[in-house]
Amino acid sequence: MSFKYTNKANVSLPLAVWLMHDDYDYDDRPNVISATSLLKPIRALVLKYQYNDINKEVDITDLVSARMGSAIHAIAEEAWLERGNISKALKAMGTSNLDKIFIINPDKPVKDSEVAVYVEQRHETTVGDYIISGKYDLVLDGTLSDYKSTSVWTYIYDSNAMKYTQQGSIYKWLAPDRITDNKVSIQFIFTDWSAANAARDSKYPQSRVLTRDYPLWSTDQTENYIKDKLQDVTSLLDKPQDNYLNVHLRNYGNQQQNINTLKILMLNEQLRILIL
């Protein structure tokens, strides 16, 4: 799908140039579906295939969130590639002289005394007629991390908990040799954090950046989720939009089951932490 960009808000040239910059590594192969796209509703995936040749109008002000997210991810990647940053971070955390144990993007297994760090690596796997592709943010010693620039309220209400588990599970399914832990660590960077609110309310995030862990699915559950989603997409490619509702209703029960499973996994994780 191509885009026609507009500037309805009449933003300045410096802002317009920044907003139009996009260094994402898009894949033009028609049968490629990204890990993040798999989280979208069936209707969105099908419409993308059915209307792939239509120009979509996008105002450049709608790109602000995406560009801010891209900037954060770019800095996060560059930070790990600069060993001096690792040294300063360890020193700030009260540890020093350990930066050399971190091996960045190794192409072979590391020693027992070393820690493998994989930054912004893309993996793909073929499933039937489709190619599932995903690029994770960071894998540190087998634990997946994902940077999220988001609202404080997303964190407070935990409204994206299922999406974090789904996305992390797909990444682990794509790279099981690198992602060995059964959780994903979401690195929250709040875009609307307030120091005044933090001082008034102890339940409000007390820092502008926080980390929260979410459990990952088993390999079988992840693979079933992917195959079911792809089967639904394939079955609707040549169908009118009225048929989407039946698929949505059929999947609603599966979604509720996944939510219940997530709640149980998170409760077990909380109990494990308390016991330890």
Q: What is the pTM of this model?
A: 0.85
Tally of domains in the chain? 1
Rounded to 5°, the CA angle 247-41-148 comes to 155
CATH number of the structural domain spanning residue 38 = 3.90.320
Per-residue pLDDT tens listing for the chain (276 residues): 578 899 999 999 999 999 999 888 888 898 999 999 999 988 888 887 777 666 688 999 999 999 998 998 889 889 999 989 999 999 999 987 888 999 999 999 999 999 999 999 999 999 999 999 999 999 999 999 999 999 999 999 999 999 999 999 999 999 999 999 999 999 999 999 999 999 999 999 999 999 999 999 999 999 999 999 999 999 888 877 665 556 555 555 555 555 555 555 545 544 443 333
Q: Would you state the pLDDT for residue 47? A: 82
User: HEC string of the chain?
Assistant: CCEEEECCCCCCHHHHHHHHCCCCCCCCCCCEEECCHHHCCHHHHHHHHHCCCCCEEEEHHHHHHHHHHHHHHHHHHHHHHCHHHHHHHHHHCCCCCCHHHEEECCCCCCCCCCEEEEECCEEEEEECCEEEEEECCEEECCEEEEEEEECHHHHHHCCCHHHHHHHHHHHHHHCCCCCCCCEEEEEEEECCCCHHHHHHCCCCCCCCEEEEEEECCCHHHHHHHHHHHHHHHHHHCCCCHHHHHHHHHHHHHHHHHHHHHHHHHHHHHHHHHHHC
Give the separation between CA 88 and CA 206, rounded to whole angstroms: 23
Give the separation between CA 185 and CA 76, rounded to whole angstroms: 15
* Whole-Å CA distances, 168 to 35, 96, 193, 202, 224: 9, 31, 25, 29, 15
Q: Would you state the pLDDT for residue 25? A: 82
Which residues, 6+ apart, have CB-to-CB distance to 206 below 8 Å?
198
Residue carrying the six token digits 């933090």: 198
Domain that holds residue 63: 3-275
Q: Would you state the pLDDT for residue 3? A: 81
Q: Would you state the pLDDT for residue 269? A: 47
Give the separation between CA 154 and CA 268, rounded to whole angstroms: 23
